[in-house]
């Protein structure tokens, strides 16, 4: 049995998934723009609903691709004499996967988690700055600048990345260089932030901190 057409379909589905990812990235940027512009909470919440819709689409697409791959692998293993009804087998597996869906699945979507984290950080940046500025403008500037300094380079970050495990931020190039060097030495990387006990920083745990980058850019413009 030739699976060329099936492989072609899977490739198309993966392209669709990349469009969903792009949509989620755009929705995240729009939400951050809204927070930065002090827009209504409802506007930000509407973007969160968009993210959940994208997460549902992503889950459905993943289930369908899984159903196809499992069906193909099953046929390759069993090697039936007659060509089975691929569509029926795929739909059967797909329905079984979809029947296990829960709302909490969507909350676990990686890009949705990133969205929530960045919106929270963005609000924190602006609310903290507002509160501190009411007390003393000099303190506000000092506080912000401390948050903007990379614990590795001791310089203001240009491309900050956040560690999903411990929550600390570093300059992207600086932390990746340490990870690469330690990897060659077959050693683990301890979080460079003083006082942090996290002893195994991985490149896969780092995500761009768009909220912090915007706060740094905003401070520099002022």
pLDDT digits (tens, 9 = 90+) for 159-183: 999 999 999 999 999 999 999 999 9
First to last CA, the chain: 66
Q: Quick one: pLDDT at residue 130?
A: 52
Mean pLDDT of 16-41: 90
What counts of helices (H) and strands (E) characterise the chain?
A: 8, 3
Residue whose entry in the numeric block shows the structure tokens 């392209």:
15
pLDDT digits (tens, 9 = 90+) for 115-165: 999 999 888 877 655 544 444 444 444 445 567 999 999 999 999 999 999
Residue 217 · residue 32 · CB < 8 Å: no
Return the biggest CA–CA distance within the chain. Answer: 80
pTM of the model: 0.75
Mean pLDDT lowest for which of 6-20, 110-124, 127-141, 197-211? 127-141
Q: Quick one: pLDDT at residue 38?
A: 77
Read off the pLDDT band of 69 (50, 70, 90).
very high
Mean pLDDT lowest for which of 6-10, 25-29, 37-41, 139-143? 139-143
Mean pLDDT of 180-199: 94
CA–CA dist 58, 16 (Å, integer): 9
Judge whether residue 40 has pLDDT over 80. Answer: no
DSSP letter, residue 153? T
| pLDDT: which is higher, 156 or 9 | 156
Residues whose CB is less than 8 angstroms from the CB of residue 160 and which lie 6 or more positions away in sequence, other chains included: 150, 169, 170, 171, 172, 208, 209, 212, 213, 216
Share of the chain above pLDDT 70, in %: 89
Mean pLDDT of 193-198: 93
Mean pLDDT of 64-77: 92
Mean pLDDT of 70-76: 90
């Amino acid at each position: 049995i030739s699976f060329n057409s099936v492989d072609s379909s899977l490739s198309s589905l993966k392209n669709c998934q990349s469009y969903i990812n792009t949509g989620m990235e755009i929705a995240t940027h729009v939400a951050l723009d809204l927070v930065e512009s002090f827009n209504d909470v409802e506007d930000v919440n509407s973007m969160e609903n968009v993210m959940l819709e994208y997460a549902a689409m992503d889950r459905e697409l993943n289930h369908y691709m899984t159903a196809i791959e499992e069906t193909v692998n099953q046929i390759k293993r069993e090697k039936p004499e007659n060509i089975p009804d691929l569509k029926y087998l795929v739909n059967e597996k797909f329905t079984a996967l979809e029947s296990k869906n829960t709302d909490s699945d969507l909350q676990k979507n990686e890009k949705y988690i990133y969205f929530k984290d960045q919106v929270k950080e963005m609000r924190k940046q602006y609310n903290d700055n507002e509160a501190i500025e009411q007390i003393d403008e000099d303190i506000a500037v000092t506080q912000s600048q401390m948050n903007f300094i990379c614990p590795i380079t001791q310089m203001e970050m240009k491309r900050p990345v956040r560690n999903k495990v411990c929550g600390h931020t570093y300059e992207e190039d600086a932390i990746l260089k340490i990870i690469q060097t330690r990897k060659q030495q077959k050693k683990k990387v301890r979080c460079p932030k003083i006082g942090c006990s996290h002893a195994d920083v991985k490149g896969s745990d780092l995500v761009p901190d768009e909220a912090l980058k915007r706060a740094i850019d905003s401070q520099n413009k002022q």
